């Protein structure tokens, strides 16, 4: 678990470079993601980390909280309580860092394939860490774009791409569609110039381009038509139109 947890901590530091010096006014400013301000964005990341830490350390309390969440009694952000929601931006950031550190420490104690109860079906420990990294990167991009702060492109993107590839089937199921059985080849260039590949070389359907572009499309921050990705073949184009690695209604943000 150490490599993925190290990458998750690296993404946390990248997020810190965007938000740690925000003014209180900026913490309450709308972001490029419609309906989100900076405070709500970090609160959302922290609430998910808090929930993850709960399932890793206190399954009984997690089950109780999960019942409240799944019944619609509360939203995820409300599980952490009104005192957290009322924190100033700088205090919220300190709370977030504490919650994240606790979650990462708990993840490091697991084996990558350990199964964990989560919001939907059970999830593997490594997949949970990758999911937290992916969501951190996604919302960090929103914040960086909001304030015009350069955000680093690193080889940590490989984790996000891999999650996107292995959740191709889920992208269909999330929309009530039948997943195709024919494979898609993915060939992407990482930030350092390395070629990253998934799928059989002989596949007739292919996604080509930069890993960064793939991640923006995957996380619904950019429509494929506006990206520099090349989707060759009907199944590649179809997948990129609906790709989404998390359980929530399909949408484009920003």
Q: What's the alpha-carbon Rg for the chain, to the nearest Å?
A: 18
Q: Region 230-243: what's the mean pLDDT? A: 96
Chain-centroid distance of CA 102 in Å reads 18
* Backbone phi, psi, residue 206, to 5°: -140, 145
Q: Give the pLDDT band of residue 159 (cuts 50, 70, 90).
A: very high
CATH 1.10.10.10 correct for 2-151: no
Q: 7 near 133, Cβ under 8 Å?
A: yes
Supply the pLDDT for residue 246: 82
Nearest to 54, CA basis, from 39, 36, 69, 72: 69
For 60-103, write each residue's pLDDT tens digit: 999 999 999 999 899 999 999 999 999 999 999 999 999 999 99
How large a percentage of the chain has pLDDT more than 90? 91
Q: In a 3-state reduction of DSSP, which class is residue 206?
A: strand
In the chain, domain spans: 2-151, 158-242
Q: Region 129-133: what's the mean pLDDT? A: 97
* Backbone phi, psi, residue 250, to 5°: -60, 140
pTM, two decimal places? 0.92
Q: Give the pLDDT band of residue 249 (cuts 50, 70, 90).
A: low
* Backbone phi, psi, residue 190, to 5°: -75, 170
For 19-64, write each residue's pLDDT tens digit: 999 999 999 999 999 899 999 999 999 999 999 999 999 999 999 9
Nearest to 55, CA basis, from 131, 117, 127, 132: 117
Q: How many CA atoms lie within 13 A of 110 on its CB side?
A: 23
Q: Distance (Å, rounded) from C-alpha 252 to C-alpha 247?
A: 14
Q: In a 3-state reduction of DSSP, which class is residue 209?
A: strand
What CATH code is assigned to 158-242? 3.30.1050
Q: Give the pLDDT band of residue 248 (cuts 50, 70, 90).
A: low
Q: Where does 26-183 show beta strands of DSSP type E?
A: 115-116, 123-124
For 171-204, write each residue's pLDDT tens digit: 999 889 999 999 999 999 999 999 999 999 999 9
Q: 120 near 247, Cβ under 8 Å?
A: yes
């Amino acid at each position: 678990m150490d490599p993925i947890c190290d990458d998750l901590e690296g993404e946390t530091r990248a997020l810190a470079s965007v938000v740690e010096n925000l003014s209180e006014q900026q913490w309450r400013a709308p972001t490029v993601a419609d309906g989100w301000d900076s405070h709500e964005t970090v609160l959302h990341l922290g609430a998910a980390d808090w929930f993850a830490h709960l399932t890793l350390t206190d399954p009984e309390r997690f089950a109780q909280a999960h019942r409240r969440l799944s019944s619609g009694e509360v939203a995820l952000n409300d599980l952490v309580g009104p005192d957290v929601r009322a924190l100033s931006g700088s205090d919220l950031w300190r709370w977030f860092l504490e919650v994240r550190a606790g979650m990462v420490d708990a993840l490091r104690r697991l084996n990558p394939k350990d199964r964990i109860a989560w919001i939907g079906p059970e999830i593997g420990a490594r997949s949970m860490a990758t999911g937290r990294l992916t969501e951190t990167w996604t919302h960090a991009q929103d914040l960086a774009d909001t304030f015009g702060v350069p955000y680093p492109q690193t080889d940590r993107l490989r984790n996000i791409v891999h999650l996107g590839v292995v959740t191709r089937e889920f992208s269909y199921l999330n929309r009530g569609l039948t997943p195709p059985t024919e494979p898609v080849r993915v060939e992407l260039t990482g930030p350092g110039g390395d070629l990253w590949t998934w799928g059989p070389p002989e596949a007739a359907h292919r996604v080509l381009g930069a890993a960064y572009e793939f991640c923006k499309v995957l996380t619904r921050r950019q429509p494929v038509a506006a990206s520099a990705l090349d989707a060759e073949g009907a199944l590649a184009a179809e997948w990129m139109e609906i790709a989404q690695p998390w359980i929530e209604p399909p949408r484009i943000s920003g």
